Amino acid sequence: MKSAVMFYSYTGNCRNISNYIAKTLNIDTIELVEESPRKGLLGNMRGVVQALTNTRIPLLDGKWQDLSEYSTIYLVFPIWASNVNPAVNTFIEFTNLTGKKVHIISVQGNKNIGKYHRTLDYLSKFIRYKGGRIGSFVTIVYSKKSTPESIPEQLDNFLARRRHY
Ligand SMILES: Cc1cc2nc3c(=O)[nH]c(=O)nc-3n(C[C@H](O)[C@H](O)[C@H](O)COP(=O)(O)O)c2cc1C
């Protein structure tokens, strides 16, 4: 059975991180794409409200709906308004995760790494409720000013551990 990196990215950071993970571990990437594209300040504000209310936003159809060939998922997403990003809520709600191992890679702008532990707790309960098993967690601090070359050290440490599994 295969592994894949599942990601949502609005401003590109989680895409960079996901491509880096996929290249390092030689696995597939699957992107979660919102049905109505988000833009500008209004898109951000809607995102904050949707994250705060745990909204399941509509996603374009895609590989995320059928994960039968994968046993392990690396889930990469940005923290929004201290919460899980809405695309991730949709993915978990509408996908069968029975028997899948899910590694959680949360990405945030805030430098305080323990800050969103309640959110990550909620997410792991949601994943377990949908039949998944939690593999490991890593939080990456990666902000607007980060570049594809500035992949944080936490990610390399995390990936070095994964290669032994
Ligand atoms: C609508 C919105 C809300 C955000 N809220 C938070 C937050 O509460 N805490 C935080 O640390 N970062 C927050 N961020 C920053 C993102 O988590 C961070 O920039 C991340 O790297 C973005 O990933 P992306 O480029 O793949 O979309 C927010 C970003 C957006 C667009």
Q: What is the model's pLDDT at position 145?
A: 72
Report the nearest atom of ligand 1 relative to the CA of 44.
Answer: 1
126 in Cβ contact with 77 (< 8 Å): no
| Per-residue pLDDT tens over the stretch 33-55 | 999 999 999 999 999 999 999 99
| Per-residue pLDDT tens over the stretch 5-26 | 999 999 999 999 999 999 999 9
Ligand 1 centre from 77 Cα, in Å? 9
- pTM comes to 0.95
Q: Is the CB of 9 under 6 A from ligand 1?
A: yes
CATH homologous superfamily of 2-162: Flavodoxin domain (3.40.50.360)
Q: How far apart are CA 77 and CA 74, in angstroms?
A: 10
Instruction: Provide DSSP, 95-162.
Output: S--TT-EEEEEEEESSS-TTTTHHHHHHHHHHHHHTT-EEEEEEEEE--TT--TT---HHHHHHHHHH
Q: Does 149 have pLDDT greater than 90? A: no
Q: Is the CB of 143 under 6 A from ligand 1?
A: yes
Report the nearest atom of ligand 1 relative to the CA of 43.
Answer: 1
Output the average pLDDT for the chain. Answer: 93
